Amino acid sequence: MENHLNKYFIKFSYIGFMFSGFQRGNGDNSIEDSIIRCLERNGMDGEIHSAARTDRGVSAVGNVFSMEADKPIEKIMGILNAGVKNCVFHSFANVTKGANPRHNKMKHYRYFLPWIDDHIAFDRFIMKFKGEHDFSGFCRRDHRNPVRTISEIRSTWENGYGFIDFYGRSFVWNQIRSIVGFSMKHFTEQDYNPFTNGVVNSYIAPAENLVLIDITYEGIKFRRVPIRSKEKYVSRLWERQFADFHAIDSILRLQDQDNGI
C-alpha cells in the first residue's frame, strides 16, 4: 500500500556566492543539487520544482520550491536545515497537488547600490522601466517571451547606500541587473528613451548585490519554523556579503518579519 504523499511549498534563504549556481547540474555545488542530495540521503524523493532560478551569485530571503513527501513537514524542515549548508529553510505551506510554485502572485527583488550623489536623477531615470515593455535589449535571451510588466519600482537611500525594489509577476534572465547597469551608465541623460532605436544593453550590474526578497501567492499562507541558531550563522554571511555599503540592517529586518516571508 502506497504511503500518502503531501505536497508542500518551502520558502528558504541563501547566500548566492556560497554556491556554484542555482539550477541542478550547474557546477559541483548548486543550490538545487544541494537540496536534492539532502532529500535523497534521507529517503525522500529528490523531485523538486523551484519558483525562481536565480543567477549565479544572486541571494534570496524568500525563494520557494515544491516537493512531495510522506514525512511530517516539521521533520523535513529539520532535515533540510541540518543537511544543507548556507541555506535557511524557514517557512512552509501545505498546497494542493496541482499547485505550481511558478504560478505566483508577485516576485519582489531588491538591488543594493553604493551611494549616488544625484540619486534623485537616478531614481527618475530608472522609473522609465516601470510598466509593460519588450525587454529584449535588457536580458539574456532564451525561449521565453521578453515582454514583461514591472508593477512597481521603489528607491530608498539611507546610511550611505541605496536599494531599488522591483515588483512583478515574472522576470527574464538578467533583466534587473541589466536595468540597473544601464541606469547607472545613462541616468544623467534624462531624455534617453531606453526602448527606442533598438537599444541592446551591455552594462550588467553585479549579481552579488541582487536579492530575491519574497514570492507571494494568491490564497497561500506560509508558516514559519523556529531555526534561530542557523539564522544567526546565515546573518553573519549576509554581513560579510554587504559589509561594503552597510546594507545588513535592511536584510536582517526582512528576515525577522512574519508577514509571509
| pLDDT by 10-residue block (mean), the chain, 261 residues | 81 92 87 96 94 93 96 95 92 96 97 93 96 88 84 93 95 92 92 83 90 96 82 68 57 50 38
Name the nearest CA neighbour of 165 among 90, 237, 61: 61
Cell numbers that stand for 13 in this block: 534563504
| E strands present in the chain | 6-14, 49-50, 59-69, 87-95, 106-114, 131-134, 147-150, 152-158, 161-168, 210-216, 223-224
Place of cell 512552509: 92
Cell numbers that stand for 179 in this block: 536595468
Does 109 belong to an annotated binding site? yes
Model pLDDT, residue 140 = 76
Give the separation between CA 94 and CA 117, rounded to whole angstroms.
47
Contacts 24+ apart (CB under 8 A), 38-44: 38/79, 38/80, 38/83, 38/84, 39/67, 39/69, 39/79, 39/80, 41/83, 42/79, 42/83, 44/69, 44/71, 44/76
Model pLDDT, residue 184 = 93
Can you say how many angstroms the Cα of residue 54 is from the centroid of all Cα atoms in its chain?
6
Strands 106-114 and 210-216: antiparallel
The one-character DSSP state at 257 is: -
Instruction: Please identify every residue annotated as catalytic.
Output: 55
Give the separation between CA 114 and CA 99, rounded to whole angstroms.
39
Local structure of 224: helix, strand or coil: strand
pTM score of the predicted model: 0.88
Ordered by where they begin, the domains of the chain are 6-103+221-229+246-256 (3.30.70.580), 106-210 (3.30.70.660)
Give the separation between CA 121 and CA 148, rounded to whole angstroms.
24
CB crowding 19-32: b at 16 or more within 10 Å, else e: bebbebebeeebbb
CB crowding 38-48: b at 16 or more within 10 Å, else e: bbeeeebeeeb
